[in-house]
């Protein structure tokens, strides 16, 4: 007879593994050899925290300017001039008839404003006190040539140094020399003195008494010319003379050196790699486009791939301009290939002046030129891909020139990295996803 | 004869969360021996480890087990010191049966969870755009036969039917004036087939009835199993109005998860002094074919929804397992196991979906 063998094994296994969990040490911020007690930032609109073609703060855009992020990681107090309401007015997106539409900021000088365009807030005419000492000295439209201006030949900037800030001001806020205010409200939070006893930007820098600074000046010296299609006939947007650039850049660093401040200087990125210059291409348009080469030429020719059609060409292209030889795109919306070459050479020149000036003063360089170029080929943070594609790229704001909150956070991290590398400090980088990107309707 | 053995395994680290999403908790003795069992074949777990080993077993053998796994994992990024991964308690179970039909033929069956993983994070954690929650469950059913072709060599083969279910959630980086981020929820299930074949040989016996040393070798290959998720369902919430055409409230998706193949060479040496004690040494080497898990791709039915493709690009993994069993009077056993399980993830592709840390672990039972 066959014997029946039954083997029954019942296993109940408890695998508690709490013992194997690693508890990481909390990060500790250290200042290293740096003194962050009075951190001052100088620069242009990028430093001021401008995005979407305006200064606004409804989602903390200004609150999270890159210097404000850096200051927070330093654990130091940082006072910024902040707009209220709609600030200077700004671009936004609307969902119209199943399409996402970019609505530009209200412009007092034109009659074709979109009915939904956001105008500047009435408070913007007098949005700040110029007796308060701010930490963020970034001013929209600020060129290196504007740090001192009295007695220097610089086109229409002379001798009215108050007329600093180009054409970005709303019309009603035009030049008001009597009260000593600059033509552009972006700089009104600084002390400018009055006629006959003018106060310069550099005087505001000197008065800051910084212990630590970041300097990202130089962008506008390239950008204001290129974003207007290389038009320098009006004279308001010239490429700053390279010798003047160096002299005045030195002036800024001399000032910081004299007050004994530590700090870093950033190179200028290639503005021509931003969506403002790369969104409208012949490839996207799929047809021949006629362009006028420059203000002072009569050359009309077909656009080539080396000509950069600016984002501002969108409206006129929509009107049918540029499609026939007799009605070419105006030179102000095209940076033609010769101008691109001029701008690229100029960019290299100012960056080598920035490097040389910083080296001469013993200040380290934040290579923003290299970093922003990485963004052009694409970066990934925490599972989100970013590049320079207009809107979809996730890092640039609606104006195509200025980063959005996430782009500025990346920039802050790059500054932090360089600061840590040079001052034995351990400022913590920030998580890009904690900041706001594009706001969709 | 009926024996019921109730045992408790103590001091085991989180072996289940070793490399990838393989669940290495298939039988108590095997766990205690570091998972080195392919050349041992002393109980019904061999249906899984090496079907050919069934020929070693007489009569009817059942093994049933439930494992309670409570993993705790913490992550660190340059921005956040401690991110706690809150994973639910897992209860993978296994049931093995091996029955002798005649002297040469055995029939067996198994139901178990060979692969599975579940992790979840706080919804607003730093990597929320990669993953918020993920859960993979698999059930395997494997009818198996073994045949003793020679006194010393047996072969075995099983047909594997796998059921898999998968769900995941992640944040969609799109903000509106009133929302900060959207959310994607994907879930689906499917099935797949594979096989499990093995060879077992007790090729050398030294000594006699009362005092002997036995040498055995086992080879086992469990094939990869593609599980097609053909009827997946995706839901998108908190999406800005203007983008709801791209990320609709509901759409279908198709995906495929390939469970990897496992090839094992196992060796065991058992020294027995009859009616006193025995000492068994076992060694297994597994090659797990994680390269089959090359991408995790979701193809959405809604044409406007961008298809998602995550390159995993995992490496095949070689695992070494060592086990030692000391049994006294055929009643009391002390076992110790040691294994090294390497992570299949490439260094630059470490992702929070699944644990990916090379483990060296010991177990005592």
Give the pLDDT confidence score for residue A237 in this predicted structure: 67
Please report whether residue A103 resides in a domain: yes
Mean pLDDT of chain B: 83
Helix/strand/coil (H/E/C) assignment for every residue in chain B: CEEEEEECCECCCCHHHCCCCECCCCCHHHHHCCCCCCCCCCCCCHHHHCHHHHHHCCCEEEEEEEEEEECEEEECCCCCCCEEEECCCECCEEEEEEEECCCCEEEEEEEECCEEEEEECCCCCCCCCCCCEEEEEEEEEEEEEEEECCCCEEEEEEEEEEEEEEEEEEEECCEECCCCCEEEEEEEEEEEEEEEEEEEEEEEEEECCCEEEEEEEEEEEECCEEEEEEEEEEEEECCCHHHCCCCCCEEEEEEEEEECCEEEEEEEEEEEECCCEEEEEEEEEEEECHHHCCEEEEEECCCCCCCEEEECCCCCEEEEEEEEEEEECCCEEEEEEEEEECCCCCHHHCCCCCCCCCEEEEEEC
Please report whether residue A335 resides in a domain: no
Using one digit for the tens of pLDDT, what is the confidence trace for A289-303? 999 987 777 889 999
Radius of gyration of chain B (CA): 23
Which of B3, B58, B69 is opposite residue A8, by nearest beta carbon? Answer: B3
Which of B14, B77, B174 is opposite residue A20, by nearest beta carbon? Answer: B14
Mean pLDDT of chain A: 86
Our CA-based measurement puts residue A80 at a distance from the nearest CA of chain B, in whole angstroms, of 24
Which of A24, A429, A440 is opposite residue B76, by nearest beta carbon? Answer: A24
Chain A CB within 8 Å of residue B276 CB: no
Chain B residues within an 8 Å CB radius of A23:
74, 82
SS3 A284: helix
Chain B residues within an 8 Å CB radius of A441:
176-177, 240-242
Contact A430 B79 (CB under 8 A): yes
Residues belonging to chain A with any Cβ–Cβ distance to chain B shorter than 8 Å: 3-27, 93, 95, 98, 100, 382-384, 394, 428-431, 433-434, 436-441
* pTM (predicted TM-score): 0.85
Please report whether residue A216 resides in a domain: yes
Q: Which residue of A has its CA nearest to B78?
A: A429
Q: Which residue of B has its CA nearest to A92?
A: B177
Using one digit for the tens of pLDDT, what is the confidence trace for A193-223? 765 677 888 999 999 999 999 999 999 999 9
When pLDDT is cut at 50, 70 and 90, the band that residue B117 belongs to is confident
Chain A residues within an 8 Å CB radius of B241:
95, 441
Give the pLDDT confidence score for residue B36 in this predicted structure: 77
When pLDDT is cut at 50, 70 and 90, the band that residue B331 belongs to is confident
Please report whether residue A5 resides in a domain: no
- Name the nearest CA neighbour of B312 among B288, B297, B298, B293: B293
User: Between residues B189 and B134, which one has the greater pLDDT?
Assistant: B189
Q: Which residue of B has its CA nearest to A427?
A: B79
Please report whether residue A309 resides in a domain: no
Chain A CB within 8 Å of residue B89 CB: no
Chain A residues within an 8 Å CB radius of B92:
none
Domain that holds residue A423: 30-270+344-434
- This complex has an ipTM of 0.86
Contact A15 B173 (CB under 8 A): no
Using one digit for the tens of pLDDT, what is the confidence trace for B131-147? 898 888 999 999 999 99
When pLDDT is cut at 50, 70 and 90, the band that residue B242 belongs to is very high
Give the pLDDT confidence score for residue A16 in this predicted structure: 40
Q: What is the CATH number of the domain that holds A150?
A: 3.40.50.1110
Mean pLDDT check: name the lowest of A119-123, A248-252, A335-339.
A119-123
Q: How many CB pairs under 8 A join A and B?
A: 167
Contact B9 A15 (CB under 8 A): yes
What would the mean pLDDT of B204-215 be, rounded to a whole number?
A: 91
Contact B67 A15 (CB under 8 A): yes
The number of helices, as runs of H, and strands, as runs of E, in chain A is: 11, 16
Our CA-based measurement puts residue B241 at a distance from the nearest CA of chain A, in whole angstroms, of 6
Q: Is the pLDDT of residue A131 over 70?
A: yes
Please report whether residue A3 resides in a domain: no
Q: How many domains does chain A have?
A: 1
- pLDDT above 70 as % of chain A: 84
Chain A CB within 8 Å of residue B14 CB: yes
Please report whether residue A378 resides in a domain: yes
Please report whether residue A294 resides in a domain: no
Contact A5 B81 (CB under 8 A): no
Contact A440 B243 (CB under 8 A): yes
Domain boundaries B15-122+132-168+197-226+259-293+310-357, corresponding CATH code: 2.40.160.60
Chain B residues within an 8 Å CB radius of A428:
78-79
64-83 of B, contacting A, C-beta below 8 A: 64-74, 76-82
């Amino acid at each position: 007879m066959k014997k029946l063998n039954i083997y029954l094994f019942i296993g109940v296994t408890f695998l508690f593994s709490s013992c194997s969990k690693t508890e990481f040490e909390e990060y500790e911020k250290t200042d290293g050899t740096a003194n962050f007690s009075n951190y001052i930032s100088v620069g242009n609109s990028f430093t001021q925290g401008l995005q979407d073609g305006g200064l606004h703060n409804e989602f903390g855009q200004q609150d999270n300017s890159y210097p404000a992020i850096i200051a927070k990681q330093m654990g130091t107090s940082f006072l910024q001039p902040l707009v209220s309401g709609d600030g200077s007015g700004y671009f936004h997106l609307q969902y119209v008839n199943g399409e996402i539409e970019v609505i530009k900021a209200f412009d007092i000088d034109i009659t074709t404003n979109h009915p939904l365009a956001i105008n500047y807030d009435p408070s913007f005419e007098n949005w700040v006190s110029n007796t308060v000492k701010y930490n963020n000295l970034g001013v929209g439209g600020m060129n290196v040539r504007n740090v001192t201006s009295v007695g220097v030949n610089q086109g229409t900037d002379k001798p009215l140094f108050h007329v600093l800030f180009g054409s970005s001001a709303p019309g009603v806020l035009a030049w008001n020399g009597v009260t000593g205010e600059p033509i552009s409200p972006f700089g009104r939070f600084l002390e400018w003195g009055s006629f006959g006893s003018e106060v310069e930007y550099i005087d505001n820098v000197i008065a800051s008494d910084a212990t630590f600074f970041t300097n990202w000046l130089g962008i506008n010296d390239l950008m204001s010319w290129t974003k207007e299609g290389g038009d320098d006939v009006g004279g308001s947007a010239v490429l700053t003379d390279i010798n003047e650039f160096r002299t005045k850049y030195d002036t800024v660093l001399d000032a910081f050196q004299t007050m004994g401040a530590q700090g870093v200087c950033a190179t200028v990125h290639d503005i021509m790699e931003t969506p403002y210059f790369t969104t409208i291409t012949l490839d996207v348009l799929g047809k021949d486009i006629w362009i006028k080469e420059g203000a002072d030429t009569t050359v009309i020719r077909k656009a080539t791939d080396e000509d950069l059609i600016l984002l501002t060409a969108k409206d006129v292209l929509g009107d049918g301009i540029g499609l026939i030889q007799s009605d070419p795109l105006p030179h102000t919306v095209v940076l033609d290939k010769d101008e691109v070459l001029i701008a690229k050479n100029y960019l290299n020149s100012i960056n080598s002046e920035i490097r040389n000036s910083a080296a001469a003063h013993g200040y380290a360089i934040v290579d923003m030129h290299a970093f922003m170029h990485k963004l052009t080929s694409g970066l990934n943070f925490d599972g989100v891909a970013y590049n320079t594609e207009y809107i979809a790229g996730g890092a640039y704001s609606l104006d195509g020139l200025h980063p959005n909150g996430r782009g500025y956070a990346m920039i802050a991290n790059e500054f932090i990295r360089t600061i840590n590398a040079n001052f034995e400090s351990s400022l913590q980088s920030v998580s890009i996803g904690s900041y706001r990107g594009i706001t969709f309707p | 004869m009926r024996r019921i053995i109730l045992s408790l395994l103590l001091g085991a680290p989180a072996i289940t969360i070793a490399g990838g999403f393989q669940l290495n908790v298939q039988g108590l003795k095997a766990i205690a021996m570091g998972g080195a069992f392919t050349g041992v074949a002393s109980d019904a777990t061999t249906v899984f480890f090496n079907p050919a080993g069934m020929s070693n077993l007489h009569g009817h053998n059942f093994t049933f087990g439930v494992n309670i796994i409570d993993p705790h994992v913490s992550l660190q990024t340059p921005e956040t010191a401690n991110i706690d991964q809150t994973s639910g308690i897992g209860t993978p179970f296994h049931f093995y049966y091996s029955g002798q039909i005649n002297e040469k033929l055995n029939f067996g069956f198994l139901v178990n969870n060979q692969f599975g993983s579940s992790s979840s994070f706080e919804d607003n954690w730093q990597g929320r755009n990669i993953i918020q929650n993920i859960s993979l469950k698999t059930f395997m059913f494997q009818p198996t036969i073994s045949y003793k072709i020679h006194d010393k060599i047996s072969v075995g083969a099983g047909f594997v039917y796998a059921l898999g279910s998968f769900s995941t959630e992640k944040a969609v980086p799109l903000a509106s004036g009133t929302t900060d981020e959207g959310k994607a929820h994907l879930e689906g299930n499917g099935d797949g087939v594979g096989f499990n074949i093995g060879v077992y040989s007790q090729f050398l016996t030294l000594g006699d009835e009362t005092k002997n040393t036995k040498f055995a070798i086992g080879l086992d290959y469990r094939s990869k199993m593609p599980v097609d998720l053909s009827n997946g369902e995706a839901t998108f919430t908190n999406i800005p109005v203007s983008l709801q055409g791209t990320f609709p409230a509901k759409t279908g998706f198709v995906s495929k998860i390939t469970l990897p193949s496992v090839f094992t060479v196992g060796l065991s040496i058992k020294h027995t002094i009859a009616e006193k004690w025995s000492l068994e040494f076992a060694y297994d080497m597994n090659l797990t074919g994680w390269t089959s898990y090359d991408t995790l791709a979701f193809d959405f039915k809604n044409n406007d929804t961008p298809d998602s493709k995550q390159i995993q690009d995992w490496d095949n993994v070689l695992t070494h397992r060592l086990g030692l069993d000391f049994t006294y009077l055929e009643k009391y056993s002390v076992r110790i196991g040691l294994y090294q399980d390497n992570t299949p993830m490439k260094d630059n592709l470490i992702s929070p979906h699944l644990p990916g840390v090379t483990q060296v672990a010991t177990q005592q039972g």
